[in-house]
């Protein structure tokens, strides 16, 4: 059996025929509606608006969300989500799924902590691909240190008045709402709240961040709040309880990123193997050189270990007992695996891998955003050590 994206996947006893049917359906959609356009969209720095309703129609946007708001939750488990991350990674242009699926970090705070009126106003339109929501946490003065955020929301009667800014916000230019972390109390984590802020509010503005190393197709923005008045009923969760909302959101984000990074590493493996079997140097295939075979074997070794780790963490989630420390270190494991495989694939492809338009070239540029986004490797290690009581 040739070593490719699918054959490099370890057996998983949790995967049923229903899961494989979901993979087939999703792959058909991606191969038809996204893959032929991925390079052009990446170069243009833009994903067309019509992709969202199409993704909603195939069941991608609503996967795992309550039926009451237009999602599909009955019978959906972690393995469906893992498959979705894998298939989106096959595109090899990370900015496309980053923009398409950003509601995966923007919407859960609303559904898990918001009022019923808030859920009804936001979720159906987002899951139908008609409107968009983003998550606003990172600020110009701080990234992973969420507890030190400086954007303020001061209570004024039945409104909060918001001042400050957010940056590196995926989906920020397209968003109709932003689930926004604000400071309503004193310093530290205990003074943070979450507000759902509509982007048509007076005093709200945004600028695009288009000159990026990777994720060119991603809609990334800096957001500005200048005395933005937000009704108090737009509070997500309790006042000064926002840090809990943020932390419960991170496990899902990190699991999704880890699954995606492992699959991106498999894309690199597939591309490297295909080229090594075709390219001839010194009178024989690249794959016949021992040094190249060892590179491929080591890529597979690291991919195997990461897949096994992902499965263990998803099993814990399915059992209702996720370990934040293990999940944090899984994200590190996945980003290190991706970085290694992207480098080795570039070495094997040589000059052709250096040229724009290939999946490996795009993935190589996107290693750092994966290693930093959702919590940097350094922050993840420290978080894990504290979770383990060190």
CATH at 77: 1.10.540.10
Bridge partners of 116?
none
pLDDT in tens, 62-98: 999 999 999 999 999 999 999 999 999 999 999 999 9
Q: Examine the domain organization and report whether 64 and 137 are in the same domain.
A: no
Q: Examine the domain organization and report whether 194 and 293 are in the same domain.
A: no
Q: Which two tokens stand for residue 129?
A: 């691909």
- Domain span at 34: 17-104+120-127
Q: How many CB atoms lie within 10 A of CB 308?
A: 12
Angle at 297 between CA 293 and CA 300, to 5 degrees: 140
Instruction: Single out the residue in 182, 215, 240 at which a domain terminates.
Output: 240
d(CA 274, CA 253): 32
Bridge partners of 198?
177
Q: What's the first-to-final CA gap in the chain, in angstroms?
A: 46
Model pTM score: 0.94
Residue 109 lies in a domain: no
Q: Examine the domain organization and report whether 231 and 256 are in the same domain.
A: no
Q: Examine the domain organization and report whether 26 and 152 are in the same domain.
A: no
Q: Which of 214, 199, 225, 180 is nearest to 99 (CA)?
A: 214
Extract the residue ranges of the chain whose pLDDT is less than 50: none
Residue 142 lies in a domain: yes
Residue 7 lies in a domain: no
Q: Which residue has the tokens 């004024």?
A: 156
Which pLDDT value is given to residue 333?
98
Residue 280 lies in a domain: yes
Residue 87 lies in a domain: yes
Instruction: Single out the residue in 205, 240, 275 at which a domain terminates.
Output: 240
Contact 260, 97 (CB under 8 A): yes
Q: Examine the domain organization and report whether 65 and 198 are in the same domain.
A: no
pLDDT in tens, 36-49: 999 999 999 999 99
Active-site entry in 86, 87, 139, 253: 253
Residue 113 lies in a domain: no
As for how many domains the chain has, the answer is 3
Instruction: Single out the residue in 189, 219, 240 at which a domain terminates.
Output: 240
Q: Examine the domain organization and report whether 95 and 144 are in the same domain.
A: no
Which pLDDT value is given to residue 144?
65
Q: Which CATH number characterizes residue 180's domain?
A: 2.40.110.10
Catalytic annotation on 253? yes
Contact 233, 226 (CB under 8 A): no
Residue 196 lies in a domain: yes
Q: Examine the domain organization and report whether 267 and 369 are in the same domain.
A: yes
Which pLDDT value is given to residue 16?
97
Q: Examine the domain organization and report whether 265 and 375 are in the same domain.
A: yes
Q: Examine the domain organization and report whether 249 and 364 are in the same domain.
A: yes
Which pLDDT value is given to residue 250?
86
Q: Which CATH number characterizes residue 315's domain?
A: 1.20.140.10
d(CA 75, CA 77): 7
Q: Examine the domain organization and report whether 205 and 302 are in the same domain.
A: no
Which pLDDT value is given to residue 380?
94
Residue 372 lies in a domain: yes
Q: Examine the domain organization and report whether 260 and 353 are in the same domain.
A: yes
Q: Examine the domain organization and report whether 271 and 232 are in the same domain.
A: no
Which pLDDT value is given to residue 283?
85
Which pLDDT value is given to residue 143?
65
């Amino acid at each position: 059996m040739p070593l490719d994206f699918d054959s490099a996947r370890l057996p998983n006893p949790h995967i049923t025929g229903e899961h494989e049917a979901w993979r087939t359906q999703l792959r058909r959609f991606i191969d038809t509606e996204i893959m032929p356009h991925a390079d052009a969209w990446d170069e243009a720095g833009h994903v067309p608006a019509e992709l969202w309703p199409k993704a909603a129609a195939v069941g991608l946007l609503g996967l795992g969300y309550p039926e009451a708001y237009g999602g599909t939750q009955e019978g959906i488990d972690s393995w469906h989500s893992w498959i979705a991350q894998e298939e989106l990674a096959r595109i090899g242009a990370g900015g496309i799924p980053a923009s398409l699926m950003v509601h995966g970090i923007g919407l859960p705070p609303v559904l898990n902590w918001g009022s019923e009126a808030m859920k009804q106003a936001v979720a159906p339109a987002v899951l139908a691909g008609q409107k968009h929501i983003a998550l606003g946490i990172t600020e110009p003065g701080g990234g992973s240190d969420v507890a030190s955020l400086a954007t303020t929301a001061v209570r004024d009667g039945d409104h909060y008045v918001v001042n400050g800014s957010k940056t590196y916000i995926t989906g920020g230019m397209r968003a109709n709402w932003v689930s926004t972390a604000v400071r309503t109390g004193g310093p530290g984590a205990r003074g943070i709240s979450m507000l759902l802020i509509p982007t048509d509010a007076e005093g709200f503005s945004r600028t695009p961040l288009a000159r990026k190393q990777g994720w060119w197709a991603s809609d990334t923005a800096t957001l500005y709040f200048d005395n933005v008045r937000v009704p108090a009923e737009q509070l997500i969760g309790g006042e000064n309880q926002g840090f809990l909302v943020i932390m419960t959101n991170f496990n899902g984000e990190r699991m999704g990123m880890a699954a995606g990074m492992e699959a991106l590493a498999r894309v690199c493996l597939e591309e490297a193997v295909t080229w090594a079997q075709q390219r001839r140097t010194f009178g024989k295939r690249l794959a016949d050189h021992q040094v190249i075979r060892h590179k491929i074997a080591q890529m597979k070794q690291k991919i195997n270990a990461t897949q096994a780790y992902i499965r263990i963490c998803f099993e814990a989630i399915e059992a209702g007992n996720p370990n934040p420390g293990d999940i944090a270190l899984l994200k590190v494991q996945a980003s290190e695996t991706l970085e290694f495989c992207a480098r080795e694939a570039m070495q094997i492809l040589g000059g052709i891998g250096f040229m724009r338009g290939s999946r490996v070239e795009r993935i190589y540029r996107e290693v750092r955003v994966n290693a930093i986004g959702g919590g940097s490797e350094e922050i993840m290690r420290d978080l894990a050590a504290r979770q383990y009581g060190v």
